[in-house]
Structure 1
Amino acid sequence: MTTAPLSSPEPGVEFARPRRRLWGWFVDMLVTGPIAIVGSIVWGLLAIIDQGFWCGEPGSAGIFSECEEAGVLSGVGLAVAVCAYVLAALYEPVCVAVRGRTLGRRAARIEVVRCWGAGRVGLGRSAVRWLVPLAPFAVCAAVELGTRHWRPALGHPLGWLSVSFAWWVLVHASVLWNSELRGWHDRLAGTVVVTKASALSLCSGPSAN
């Protein structure tokens, strides 16, 4: 049993070029970016209002005797921010799992499909494809959040953020040296990005000699 190399796509279907994928990503950033930014702004503004209203100005007596008792509006702001971050984070994997494309990929006229057999990508493959570029960031963030008092367990945040960003770029850039234009995340998830959906298999599967 051997695995045949990836063949050319079916007639009328071609692998998505990097410039199309980049354009789709840019449009998606225009969709998810404002969501995360608005959530952060709301969180920050409510935190400022919370401290100023409940604690009062320095030297004055606020409604509460100690600022540690404040936190109602800050909690609301944090909840809004978390909802915004979760919405922005789930945007890509959910859209790809259900429709095979995001709004950005729709604008770029490309779609993520399964390599072997027709059908939707599915949540499992979509999640793997989404998590691979973000793996270092997720691990480092979990370690940092797990430390007490927010002490930098992994050194300065810019250090591990830079490493995580470099990995993210490398994963997506891996399409450039792959003849099928499949990045490491595509290969691990068993997906391929094409310019037009096809009901036929676009990738060669296992075949007997």
Structure 2
Amino acid sequence: MSTAKDLFLISVDPGPGPDVGQGDLSLALAGAELIDLVGAGAVAVDDDRIVPGGPSGPDDRLLAEAEAGLVRQPPYERVEDWLWRRGRDLASAYRTALEGDGELRRRRSGRLPFGPERVEPVDTPARRRAVGRREEGEPVLAALASAVGIGEGRPDEEPGFADEAVTGVVAAVHDAVMELEAVRQRRTIENTAFANIWRGP
């Protein structure tokens, strides 16, 4: 299993915290893919640019799609741009893939049969591995989980990483999630102001 799939599985694990926003999760999944590609030697991060290396041929279909989508011509793609481009609707893609693999099941929340539907992980070796990484505090997974509001840590408390590329990607994920939240807040303010205009004094 990839870091991205582990992240998705812990994001839908039932717990006391709030649901993870799909936009936030998509950005973090794109970051997780990039970190796995760095680990496989498929890419390097030079300053803030993603420099493709040799093909790694990952077994994971979504990770292979990510590798195939790399920009291979100079000046190459910035990490931030990758997160926004690759991250578009990525949470939905992972949900579909994990449901197809039998790692997720759909359930209705609440007592009513027509209540809202959600997915939850099936108790499989993959799910236990993801939970194990989380409980052990594996730094990369913990940092990406923190970026989307999973766990009690704050972004400014994340540990450094031995690999500067990983440090840069994690920082870019945090920045992108904060930018997305700023966009949400701005839209909320604008919508409230628009509603007040129509409501009148």
Report the TM-score when normalising by structure 1.
0.24
Report the TM-score when normalising by structure 2.
0.25
**Structure number with higher helix proportion:** 1
Q: Which has the larger radius of gyration?
A: 1
**Structure number with higher strand proportion:** 2
